[in-house]
Amino acid sequence: MATVKKDDRLTSSQSLLCVGFAGVFSKTVTSPLEVVKVLNQIGTFHCKRGFLHSFVFICQNEGLRAFWKGNMVSCLRLFPYSAIHLATYKNIVHLHVDELGDISQWRAIVAGGLAGISAALATYPLEVVETRLIAQNCQEPTYRGLLHSLSIIYRNEGLQALYRGFSLTVLGAVPFSVGCYAVYVNLDKLWQERHVRFTSLQNFINGCLAAGVAQTLSFPFETVKKKMQAQSPLLPHCGGVDVHFNGTIDCFRQVIKNKGVMALWSGLTANMVKIVPYFGLLFSCFEMCKQVCLYQNGYIISPLSYKPKPGVDQSLGPHELQELKRYLRNSKSHKAQSSSIGNRCRHSTLVLRQSGIDLFKLHLQEHPTMSETAISFAKDFLAGGIAAAISKTAVAPIERVKLLLQVQHASKQITADKHYKGIIDCVVRIPKEQGFVSFWRGNMANVIRYFPTQALNFAFKDKYKKIFLDGVDKHTQFWRYFAGNLASGGAAGATSLCFVYPLDFARTRLAADVGKAGAEREFSGLGNCLVKISKSDGIKGLYQGFNVSVQGIIIYRAAYFGIYDTAKGMLPDPKNTHIVVSWMIAQSVTAVAGLASYPFDTVRRRMMMQSGRKGADIMYSGTIDCWKKIARDEGGKAFFKGAWSNVLRGMGGAFVLVLYDELKKVI
């Protein structure tokens, strides 16, 4: 029998994040070895003279950055792959463990194989793209990134090319799982003491040994799979593969016939050098991330060790523990009202019986420490930033359409006869005139800007809420509660705007740049935009339109946070609201907030377009003049140009609010 210890102290989301981050870190560190291994497997000209010569040859011919070819795609693939793989494995195993946590060896092996197949099926197209990017010469690239690669492969070779060699993944999953999990579980039995968890060193050794055996057993399948993935009529001129094959069996046959059986293990040296530290780091990093999560959940006293926190029942799940803490906190607060402050205890012990289950005992610390406060602030910052970056990238095309409709009358590049007639006309003309990728023009600056903006908004919002809402009961003091939420949201938005306005300015100018390429572009990038404007107009040029921005941001953020928090606060159980309900509330809030503040946004965008101009090119002498001229020359409707696209874009803002709440539950 094998022992698989199910740790219910982590939520499923925390487990997935731990595995994903561990995988990305491990893959990035070992990327040079992965590149050499793949090139040896598919048989490019880089690797005709052995493992060490491959490093020298790649560096001389393609440069140092070639060792990270395909690494971004690899990380994107590895995050969901690792998460799906280990999560599926645990879920399958936990269906077959007994009450002591024991499971038969063959069931653990089958669970590992099924988990590998499930993860590969979901992410296989990304693996094909990764192989193609590694196979090409980065000095003469055929594929330029993930989206371009997927588009080229699908258009030229069809959908089946994105799953070429998948059957070998299914076949290879069996020996890989047999080796990896059988070795790891047996090592678990070998030196796992009762009630003692692995140290980081033990996890590193376990991962190295398991990975070494598993990869050696499955390597022939991996080699043939890489050869099949790399087959393309576009690759021979930049490295390509040594020969093309009619299928999997033909590939096996030709490799053995022309190069011998050992050719199926070509690249094994690079793989062993790479895979041992990779899996060692993967398992060790996972355990370290797990320790952080356990610390955040309140089970251990430090994120640097597994030493349990005194008095905390380790058998409780995280949600049960949270509910118990909430119950204790309310009980202590009620009890404190009837006792003097001098006699209040800093710690309390509660014995609780729930539905006939065992007695739970919890030693709860009443007052948070300074470090806990800092960690809470950091969690708000991280959750808000990640949610904002993801959502902003998703709605970037709509954002650019909205900006072009807003500022086209103030742009020197867009003449009167080339003005966009509306959302549809703008969406159709952008890819024709500037290319499809131009929908994301300025998106990098937007993500860089939006991360600190939203992170600061959310972080400061909670701090301002403590200032404006301390001691306010939302049920008995509704209007004061509502006004406090408005004030905290507005103050948070205005504060963050002071720090990131130059980035917002650069994003607007880059998005409004309709030049096709090269000399036609006004700015070549974020840095070029900031440097040009600062040289021309000084620092104040980067803050053009700041005053009206503050006015608009206060209105927008007040509604954005205030109405959302108020609406959620009126729900019976705000913290356990279904995600669909949260999304509907957030969508309504962002639409209303966006329309209310849209005229201010239009004026500030027009003012931003003034920077860098001289003399007669300046259209508006100031904010008031801008309001007057827009109303006089274009009519009141001009203040709302692009408003419908802004409503669509608001789905991203709604997604930010919902994703922020979900991330706060995880982090």
Joined together, the tokens standing for residue 293 give 């999560």
Predicted pLDDT at 352: 38
The pLDDT mean for the chain works out to 73
Instruction: Tell which wins on pLDDT, 403 or 188.
Output: 403
Predicted pLDDT at 161: 86
Residue percentage of the chain with pLDDT more than 70: 66
Where is mean pLDDT largest: 199-208, 296-305, 492-501? 492-501
Rounded Cα gap, residues 486 and 555, in angstroms: 9
Q: Which residue has the tokens 């077959």?
A: 96
Rounded Cα gap, residues 199 and 306, in angstroms: 9
| Contact by Cβ (8 Å): 383, 664 | yes
- In CATH, which superfamily holds the domain spanning 372-666? Mitochondrial carrier domain (1.50.40.10)
Rounded Cα gap, residues 313 and 221, in angstroms: 47
Lowest mean pLDDT among 226-240, 294-308, 352-366, 490-504: 352-366
Predicted pLDDT at 578: 65
List, in sequence order, every residue forming a beta bridge with 107; answer none if it has no partner. Answer: none
Lowest mean pLDDT among 9-13, 167-171, 616-620: 9-13
Rounded Cα gap, residues 306 and 77, in angstroms: 31
Predicted pLDDT at 306: 66
Rounded Cα gap, residues 431 and 152, in angstroms: 17
pLDDT digits 0-9 by tens, 262-275: 888 877 777 777 76
The yes-or-no verdict on residue 416 having pLDDT over 70 is yes
- In CATH, which superfamily holds the domain spanning 2-296? Mitochondrial carrier domain (1.50.40.10)
Same fold, 2-296 and 372-666: yes
Mean local confidence (pLDDT), 549-556: 78
Lowest mean pLDDT among 140-149, 256-265, 326-335: 326-335
The domain locations on the chain are 2-296, 318-367, 372-666
The yes-or-no verdict on residue 152 having pLDDT over 50 is yes
Predicted pLDDT at 139: 79
Instruction: Tell which wins on pLDDT, 95 or 508.
Output: 508
Residue percentage of the chain with pLDDT more than 90: 0
The yes-or-no verdict on residue 238 having pLDDT over 70 is no
CB-CB neighbours of 201 under 10 Å: 10
DSSP string, 291-351: HHHHHHHTSBS-TTS-PBPTT--TTS-HHHHHHHHHHHHHHHHHHHTTS-GGG--SEEEEE
Lowest mean pLDDT among 310-319, 357-366, 576-585: 357-366
Confidence category of residue 237, pLDDT binned at 50, 70, 90: very low
By C-alpha distance, which of 640, 461, 485, 659 is closest to 559? Answer: 485
pLDDT digits 0-9 by tens, 65-109: 888 888 888 888 876 777 677 778 777 777 766 666 666 666 766
| Contact by Cβ (8 Å): 181, 108 | yes
Predicted pLDDT at 464: 81
Rounded Cα gap, residues 502 and 525, in angstroms: 14
Instruction: Tell which wins on pLDDT, 340 or 375.
Output: 375
Which distant-in-sequence residues (6+ apart) come within 8 Å of 584 by Cβ? Answer: none
Predicted pLDDT at 350: 38
Rounded Cα gap, residues 8 and 571, in angstroms: 29
pLDDT digits 0-9 by tens, 319-374: 677 777 666 666 655 555 444 434 433 333 333 333 333 333 334 334 444 445 55
Instruction: Tell which wins on pLDDT, 134 or 416.
Output: 134
| Contact by Cβ (8 Å): 449, 504 | yes
Give the number of residues written for the chain: 667
Helix and strand counts by DSSP (H, E) for the chain: 21, 4
Amino acid of residue 128: V
Half-sphere exposure of 472 (CA within 13 A, CB side): 18
Confidence category of residue 601, pLDDT binned at 50, 70, 90: confident
pLDDT digits 0-9 by tens, 14-67: 776 777 778 788 888 888 888 888 888 887 545 555 667 777 788 888 888 888
